[in-house]
Chains A and B, each alone.
Chain A
Amino acid sequence: MKQVAIRVENLSHFYGSHQSLKNISLEIYRNEILGIIGPAKSGKSTFLACLNRLNDLIPGSRVEGRILVDGEDIYSPEVDVVALRRKLGIVFATPVPLPLTIYENIVYGVRLLGRNNRKELDWIVEDSLEKAGLWNEVKDRLHTSALKLSGGQQQRLCIARVLALKPQFIMLDEPTSGLDPISTMKIEDSLRTLKKDYTIILVTNNTKQAARVADRTAFFLMGELVEIDETPVVFTRPADKRTEDYILGRFG
């Protein structure tokens, strides 16, 4: 019934001698929103970086265990890392528009592939911005600097930029942490719509956000996966005392 898209087997991650992820095993299903909650420094962001191998860029980073994306071990030597990163798009906590126009931000990843057909690019820009819920706000100023957008708009631009890659997975790392409630709501709305076509992994330090949008929720604590289950289960009958304490705000 549920199709496994990503299977993580005994994943451990080290920065030098410091172990930041401890023996994590979990499955991510296709077209679900998986929420990942946990206090700061619990390994949530590192986990995302392992999934698209952005951790490769950090000196001293080392991975043990396996991650299978569509059955393919992404740490095997023959994997095309650039293609992998297109498949698992990521949106960071702080919106980072590149110092380009709105239009050029969206097509950045497309142009990297050498696709420069104006009509195709125009269409991708409209489609991606539409899906990210930003089109109506910016359609008249596509060729102005993206740095002039508000924080919430910038974050939706970053989502649109990822969508333009036609990824299968969208990973969001605390995407609303710096945003006001209305911007947050808009982004959560987009996520619910996007779920139809994408598998979404949402790291959030806001447990209520996970409760609102995630189908399943995983709780990370100090590099360990404490538990993962259907969101209502995690929030009402957590199996682990630590999960309950965290959700009730007793720590973190």
Chain B
Amino acid sequence: MRISPKIEQKLVQVVLYTFTSTAIIILIFILAVIFKNGIPQLSLEFLTRNPADMGREGGILSTIVATIFLTFIALLVATPLGVGTAIYLTEYTVESRVTRIIRFGAECLAGIPSIIFGLFGFILFVNKLGFGWSILSGGLTLAFMVLPTIIRTSEEAIKAVPHAYRLVSFSLGSTRWQSVTRVVLPSALPGIVTGVILSIGRSIGETAVVIFTAGSALRMPTSLFSSSRTMAVHFYILAKEGVSMPKAYGTAAVLVISILIINIVTYYLMEKYIRRKS
């Protein structure tokens, strides 16, 4: 039986529209639940005081600080490594078996569950290298977790820079490195930054890796070797062990809002950067 094209058209439209709205509805639903339960918990005190009584009382300041430090270290390590790898793969080698193996390796790394990264970090950084449960161990492990994302997005961004720019740069007497730093990277920056933002989001929200490698101490971290608890881990422990659901929702709200703010601010800055360049 054939359906008339008109009905078919209508039908497809309705089905696809439903699919699309599902994604949006889920997002709105999550935000609604978190904000409904979390926003009432928010206050200046919640943001500026350390947790007390295992998190039942007080705020979440130490977990905010820990989250910032961990993410900062992760990105500090992963960005140069990832962008460097991407530059090597795109600018310094020709496509060959070796580059395909490297790229395949990075893809596989991306597919590894984060809890396995946690275990790896626990064995290597916490035990073998003796960093203990610490911001350093956690940050380094997170760095390896987000590395494939940064490599992949940077590589795509660099590949998208017109070949003619490189040719012009070389013809004006640049070395390969000069053309990379002066033309290729500035043009690829928006794409690279997108990868970094994705990675920030993943680092901030990660729990499995962090529990294994940074521990869950509630103290305010004082050094790279302090064991500490991030917001995501704090939320997990508060909720799972039934310590305090209101505080858990408050933490979740702060987590979600900070990721939103980071996204909005960076995209705004990127937009400005792109407009200035063209």
Interface of A toward B, CB cutoff 8 Å: 52, 54, 57, 59, 82-83, 85-86, 89-90, 92, 94, 96, 98-100, 108-109, 112-113, 145, 147, 158, 161-162, 165
Chain B min CB distance to A54 (Å): 6
**Contact across chains for A92 and B172 when beta carbons are under 8 A apart:** no
Instruction: Confirm or deny: B88 has a beta carbon within 8 angstroms of a beta carbon on chain A.
Output: no
Within 8 A of A (CB), among B167-182: 167-175, 178, 182
Chain B min CB distance to A98 (Å): 6
**Contact across chains for A92 and B164 when beta carbons are under 8 A apart:** yes
| Cβ–Cβ < 8 Å partners of A112 in chain B | 172-174, 178, 182
| Cβ–Cβ < 8 Å partners of B166 in chain A | 57
Instruction: Confirm or deny: B203 has a beta carbon within 8 angstroms of a beta carbon on chain A.
Output: no
Contact partner, B173, options A57, A86, A98, Cβ 8 Å: A86
Q: Which residue of A lies closest to B276 (CB)?
A: A145
Contact partner, B186, options A99, A145, A147, A165, Cβ 8 Å: A99
Q: Which residue of A lies closest to B275 (CB)?
A: A145
Contact partner, A98, options B94, B168, B170, B178, Cβ 8 Å: B168
Interface of B toward A, CB cutoff 8 Å: 94, 162, 164-175, 178, 182-183, 186-187, 277-278
State the CA gap A89–B175 with chains docked (Å): 15
**Contact across chains for A96 and B172 when beta carbons are under 8 A apart:** no
> Contacts A98-B183, A99-B278 given: A82-B165 contact, CB under 8 Å?
no
Chain A min CB distance to B163 (Å): 10
Chain B min CB distance to A104 (Å): 10
Q: Which residue of B lies closest to A52 (CB)?
A: B171
> Contacts A92-B164, A99-B277, A99-B278 given: A82-B171 contact, CB under 8 Å?
no
| Cβ–Cβ < 8 Å partners of A99 in chain B | 165, 183, 186-187, 277-278
Q: Which residue of A lies closest to B172 (CB)?
A: A109
**Contact across chains for A98 and B171 when beta carbons are under 8 A apart:** no
**Contact across chains for A54 and B169 when beta carbons are under 8 A apart:** no
| Cβ–Cβ < 8 Å partners of B186 in chain A | 99
**Contact across chains for A161 and B172 when beta carbons are under 8 A apart:** yes
Q: Which residue of B lies closest to A83 (CB)?
A: B173
> Contacts A96-B168, A98-B165, A145-B277 given: A109-B173 contact, CB under 8 Å?
yes
| Cβ–Cβ < 8 Å partners of A109 in chain B | 172-174
**Contact across chains for A54 and B172 when beta carbons are under 8 A apart:** no
State the CA gap A57–B164 with chains docked (Å): 12
State the CA gap A38–B173 with chains docked (Å): 28
**Contact across chains for B170 and A85 when beta carbons are under 8 A apart:** yes
12 A-B residue pairs with CB within 8 Å: A57-B167, A59-B94, A82-B174, A85-B173, A86-B172, A89-B172, A92-B164, A92-B168, A92-B171, A96-B162, A96-B164, A109-B172
| Cβ–Cβ < 8 Å partners of B278 in chain A | 99, 145, 147
Give the top 4 A-B pairs by smallest Cβ distance, nearest first.
Answer: A109-B172, A86-B173, A96-B164, A90-B171
